[in-house]
Structure 1
Amino acid sequence: MTEQEFKEAMAAREQQKFDKAKEMLENAVKGIPELKQFQGSMLVDNTPEGLRIQITDQEGLAMFPSGSSAPYGHTRAMLDLVARIVRQLPDNRISISGHTDSVPFKDPSGYTNWELSADRALASRRALIASGVPENRVDRVVGRADQDPLEKNDPKGLRNRRISIILLRENDLGPTESKTLSVPMSKK
């Protein structure tokens, strides 16, 4: 086996693990009665960076109180579910980013969407660690404010308010890596 063939085999094996993790997340959200309401809140897709798990706000179901970084109990439950999956893939580090919509948030102290998105990402990091993810698995925690909207045609859309957790690839996919496969979870 050549070095290139070995790398391709390792990348394919990692992708199989990501596919299995996606399936486990989807089945857990469908199969746990308390989590069924969150089917529309969780998106899982493959990116060049790795397996991206996004938890979004949806109509009538926010992750955090307005202007706060203290997650609701149901948000902690979703992060606990994500932590269970992350723990099953011990070779992959994670990236956590917080996102807001483009509705300006500013209080007299100068606290803006930038701080809010970063604080929510940090709160998500703490929740994942409290659920058993080792601290050394966290590669980075980033606040993105409204700079990377999920709903590009609706920058004020509530689904732009989200937490993104990426299980980072250990194995380079090579030239096909630039293709992003996006498969949102079904809403059955």
Structure 2
Amino acid sequence: MHGQDDWANLRLGNQTGYDLLSTPAGAPLQELSHEVFDDRALVDTDGDGVVNGSDNCPSLSNPAQTDTDGDGFGDDCDPSAFISDLELSGTSAPAQPIAGAATTYTFSVHNAGSGVNHHASLTVDLPANVNIGAITASSGTCVRKGMFISCKLGDLALGATVTVSVVATHTASGTVTVSVNVVVA
């Protein structure tokens, strides 16, 4: 800016603009009141009929909004309110695998805890001397990578049982070791 000395007339403020749509034609501009609006408060992410802005436990469905200890968090979200207890059992048929014959391994995961068990998963690690055939789950999905099978069982209701079956043909006789784990994420 050569030859200009308007810096003294420069006025800085924290206003970023005016809403011209609400100003009548010919009227002087007036500053509008701007409120912060959080539309996430109107969403019900857990589907319990209570919007997140009013929900004391927005991550888990709890339509009654019970808060026994008065801490502002619903009982369903209190760590002490939930006891995770997944029971894992497994069988093979036939009981003693035979080389060249199909063996069906069946694994059951039972929720014996105190409520819904979220994001349960089951992993199966089979030995190298088997050919893996069909993999089925009564709930959730399973994927195979090499000799490793990972099943996302989803949410297990209290008392629910999910079964995963794996059909495998053994290529050699001998001791078979199958490693199985169940995890809650």
TM-score between the two structures when normalised by the length of structure 1: 0.29
**Larger strand percent:** 2
**Larger helix percent:** 1
Q: Name which one, 1 or 2, has greater alpha-carbon Rg.
A: 2
TM-score between the two structures when normalised by the length of structure 2: 0.30
